Amino acid sequence: MPSHRYRDVYRRVEVPLTTRRWPEARLTSAPLWVPVDLRDGNQALPEPMNPARKRRLFELLVAMGYKEIEVGYPSASATDFDFVRQIAETDLAPDDVTVVVFTPARRDLIERTVESIRGIDNPVVVHMYTATAPVWRDIVLRQSRSELLETVLGGGRDVLEFAGDLPNVRFEFSPEVFNLTEPDFALDVCNAMTRLWDAAPDRPVILNLPATVEIATPTRSSTCT
């Protein structure tokens, strides 16, 4: 393999390896487990689940005791959209289960996503993402830092426009490929989103920091800050 053609992660993004307290941290209470099999796992299948299979898996996750479940990517396929509508129109989701839906920071897809959750009485999380790493900025998105920040904030404003009046909805943001993003830029983007969405104790904002593509050992990675 011609690995000499590529720069390693250490030369792409500098991460200071000082004052890191997380390796010594210990969990003191049970974490909130949020399965994403109905979204991520489904996308990975050569033949994605149909609504009946998605329903069986959802019911299994509920029976296992999960209280927050990412149920799909409603703007990506009719199957996912229809499954979320099934949750809205039936009693499939117990009252104490939070439903999470996934969307990119694109206005038409955000609108479609919010359309899918209308009528759901359960707590709902709208999870918006945008890739922030320099490789994605330079090659895929072709945007500078400031341009990408405005793209993210534009998506955040669209989420507020379409879902801000729904009292049972909270928001989540993922700086996708966080582990290949400069820490200072990831911090700027996340802080901008919590300010935009007016994060508060009664309506907290979730910041998901994904190691989208593993590129280093855990002791180097910045994913656990």
| DSSP secondary structure of 117-129 | HTT--S-EEEEEE
Structure confidence by residue, pLDDT tens digits, 61-93: 999 999 999 999 999 999 999 999 999 999 999
Structure confidence by residue, pLDDT tens digits, 112-129: 999 999 999 999 999 999
> Domain holding 208: CATH number?
3.20.20.70
In a domain, 5, yes or no: no
Total count of domains within the chain: 1
In a domain, 6, yes or no: no
Structure confidence by residue, pLDDT tens digits, 169-179: 999 999 999 98
pLDDT surpassing 60 at residue 98: yes
Its domain, for residue 180, covers 123-225
In a domain, 154, yes or no: yes
Give the CA angle between residues 205, 94, 168 to the nearest 5°. Answer: 30
Cβ contacts of residue 88 below 8 Å, gap of 6+?
116, 117, 118, 119, 120
Residue 212: its pLDDT value, please?
A: 79
List strands edge to edge, sheet with 124-131.
68-72, 98-104, 124-131, 169-176, 206-207
Q: Residue 208 corresponds to which tokens in the numbers above? A: 């998901």
Report the pLDDT averaged over residues 96-119.
97
Task: Give 179: exposed, middle or buried? Use CB within 10 Å, 0-12, 13-18, 19+.
Answer: buried
In a domain, 221, yes or no: yes
In a domain, 113, yes or no: no
Report the pLDDT averaged over residues 181-205.
94
In a domain, 211, yes or no: yes
In a domain, 106, yes or no: no
N-to-C CA span, the chain: 33
pLDDT surpassing 60 at residue 216: yes
In a domain, 182, yes or no: yes
